[in-house]
Amino acid sequence: MATKQLKGVILSVEDTIMNMGTIDAGVFAEVAKLMDFFKLRNLKPVLLANQQRWLTQNGVRRDLYEALEERFDDLAVFTRLRDHNVPPKPQRAATEYILNEMGWESNEVIYLGSNEDDMRTAVNGDILFLRATWYSNNTDYGFEFSTPKEVARFIDTLCLREHFWSHEIIDGDFEYYALAPFSTFKEEFRKYSENARAAAKFGQGDVDFWLGALVTSMYFTGIHKRINFITAYPGHRAGVDNDKMNTDLLTFGKCFRKNYLHNLIERHTTALKSQTARNQGLALDHHNQLNTIKLNQLPTRNYNQQYTRSPLGRGKTVLLVDDICTKGWSLDAARKYVERTGAKTIMVTWLKTINTNYCSIGDLGEFNPYTSNNFTNVPMGREYNYRTYLIDHNASEELGEQLEQYLNWDWPV
C-alpha cells in the first residue's frame, strides 16, 4: 500500500485566513500562528481564489493577495486574476492545477476552507476538507474546527504520523487494518488502550482522537479511494447502536462522495456479551454474531434518503469500521453477510487485541443476508497469526505519544 505524507495545505481567504469587512484582529493573530506552524512543519500553504480582493490600510487600498504574500512569505497564491490558466473553483481542474504545479497527489494535501464553494472544491478534488468556523459558520460539511489551534493540533498529532497501521492482513478479497495493539495490562499499550476502551464502550475517553486517527490513516494510505460505502458494526444490543462512530464517518464519507449507511448492519437480536457468558458458564463462538445480525436491504444513505433497491452488489466495496477487534468474529460475520450480496469489504478497527489471532469464518453455504438466520456448526476459516500480520511495531509507540500530545497540545515554541 502506497503511504503518503502531508506536504501542503490549500486555503481559502474568506472566513478562513481573514473575514471580510472589518478585520477581527484577535482571530487573525491566531491564523498567523497557524501559518507560522505550517512553516515550522515544512507544510506549504497555497491560497486558491477566484475573485479580486482589496485591503484598505491607513486609507490606502491595495491588492489583498499581495498583502498576504508580504505578511506570509511562504504563501503561494493561485488565482485566475494573475494566471488565466488557473481553472475557477469549484471545478476539479482547479485543485488538479495546483497539484500538478506543486508536484503533489490529492492525499498529500488537505483543504482548509469555510463555505459551500470551498466544500465543493475539496470534494471535487478528492481532498480531505477541514471547515474553519472561527470567523463564521457557513456550511455543515467537513470536519469542523472552531479555532486555528485546533487545526494545528489535528495536523500535528494525526496528519503527520509516520506509522498509520500496526496490523495489515491482505489475503485475496480479505482485507483488514488496525491502528495499534490493544492491551490494558501491558504497560506500553495500557494508557492509550484504556482511553480507547472508554471511548468505545462508555462514550468517554477521546472519541474524536480515535476517529481522527482512523480517518487520517485511511486518507494517507488511500483506502478512501477504493470504497463505495461506509458502515459501522453495531453494539451488542438489538438495533443499530453505533452512535459514537456516526458523525465523523458521515463527514468522512461526504468528503469523498461515499455514502454512509448507518443502518446497513442491523442487530436483530441482542447478542450475549462475553462477560455475561463467562458469568453464566457459557462458551461463546462465532455463532453469537452470525445469528444476531442481518443486512438492511434498503438502508438509508447519509441519514436523509432510503434506497429503493439494495445498493450492494458486484463491483461495490463496503468500508466496515469497528472499535476493538479481538478474534474478529464480529467483523467476519458482517463480512460474510456483505460478501453474500456480491460486494467486497475492507475492514478497519481502532485497535487489535494483543497475542490473539484473527479467526475468519468458514463457508456458510446458501443464505439470505437480508433476513435473520440460525446457523449451526459453521466451521472456522483461516486463522491469521497475530505476530505474522503485525507489520509495524512502531505504530503503537507513535500512537501513544500522539494521544499524549493531543491531550496536552499547545503551539510549538
- Report the share of the chain in percent with pLDDT over 70: 96
Kindly report the CATH number assigned to the domain that includes residue 28: 3.40.50.1000
Residue 409 lies in a domain: no
Residue with cell 448507518: 262
Q: Could you say which of 113, 138, 159 is where a domain stops? A: 159
Task: Based on DSSP, count helices (H) and strands (E) in the chain, helices before strands.
Answer: 12, 20
Residue with cell 441519514: 303
In angstroms, the Cα distances linking 290 to 287, 295, 372 are 5, 11, 9
In this model, does residue 213 exceed pLDDT 80? yes
Phi/psi of residue 239, each to 5°?
125, -155
Q: Kindly report, residue by residue over 76-125, the tens digit of the pLDDT.
A: 999 988 888 999 999 999 999 999 999 999 999 999 999 999 999 999 99
Domain count, the chain: 2
Residue 408 lies in a domain: no
Q: Kindly report, residue by residue over 147-185, the tens digit of the pLDDT.
A: 999 999 999 999 999 999 999 999 999 999 999 999 999
What is the length of the chain? 413
Same domain? 177 vs 140 = no
Same domain? 219 vs 247 = yes
Contacts of 117 (CB under 8 A, 6+ apart): 12, 89, 90
Local structure of 148: helix, strand or coil: helix
Residue 153 lies in a domain: yes
Mean pLDDT of 369-384: 95
Local structure of 251: helix, strand or coil: helix
Residue 413 lies in a domain: no
Q: Could you say which of 137, 159, 181 is where a domain stops? A: 159
Local structure of 225: helix, strand or coil: helix
Residue with cell 493531543: 406
Same domain? 209 vs 133 = no
Lowest mean pLDDT among 66-75, 199-208, 292-301, 353-362: 199-208
Higher confidence at residue 367 or residue 57?
Answer: 367
Q: Which residues of 56-68 are buried (b: 16+ CB within 10 A; e: fewer)?
A: eeeeeeeebbeeb
Same domain? 236 vs 111 = no
Q: Kindly report, residue by residue over 116-155, the tens digit of the pLDDT.
A: 999 999 999 999 999 999 998 877 788 899 999 999 999 9
| DSSP conformation class of 273 | P
Q: Kindly report, residue by residue over 307-330, the tens digit of the pLDDT.
A: 999 999 999 999 999 999 999 999
Same domain? 53 vs 22 = yes
Give the torsion through C-alpha atoms of 232, 236, 239, 243, to 10 deg: -50
Q: How confident is the model at residue 217 (pLDDT cuts 50, 70, 90)?
A: very high
Residue 217 lies in a domain: yes
Local structure of 307: helix, strand or coil: coil
Mean pLDDT of 388-398: 94
Residue 411 lies in a domain: no
Q: Average model confidence (pLDDT) for the chain?
A: 91
Mean pLDDT of 40-64: 86
The set of long-range contacts for 185-191, using a CB threshold of 8 Å and a minimum separation of 24, is 186/354, 188/396, 188/397, 188/400, 189/354, 189/396, 189/400, 191/400, 191/403, 191/404
Query: What CA–CA distance (Å, rounded) separates 214 from 219?
Result: 9
Q: Which residues of 156-166 are buried (b: 16+ CB within 10 A; e: fewer)?
A: bbbbbbebbbb
Question: What is the domain range of residue 84?
Answer: 8-159
